[in-house]
Amino acid sequence: MANTLSAKQRIRNSARKAEYNRLHRSRARTYIRYTREAIAQKNLETAGEQIVNAISALDRAAGKGVIHPNNAARRKSRLMKALNKAKAAKQA
């Protein structure tokens, strides 16, 4: 247990920041899940709409320092790759 005032303050700050990070990380993961589900169901129109939300959430999380920018870029790339693969399979 923290004894000094500064240690107690750090605990409060850490809890507040953890809640903030959880909010943005969860939002990004939710939109990623929606996109993947739409791609899996071959609903490419909905997937196209959801991928915009996912990319926005990932960029926002990366901009706020919740996730690393390369992590956001990698996730966006994989989502786009999956969507493009599904579109190519539908056309073929």
Give residue-wise pLDDT tens across range 69-89: 999 999 999 999 999 999 999
pLDDT for residue 64 is more than 80:
yes
Give 42-62 pLDDT, tens digit per residue.
Answer: 999 999 999 999 999 999 999
CB 35 within 8 A of CB 79: yes
CA dihedral 64, 67, 69, 70 (to 10 degrees): 180
The CATH superfamily assigned to 16-91 is: Ribosomal protein S20 (1.20.58.110)
Length of the chain (residues): 92
Q: Considering the entire predicted model, what is its pTM?
A: 0.87
Give 16-41 pLDDT, tens digit per residue.
Answer: 999 999 999 999 999 999 999 999 99
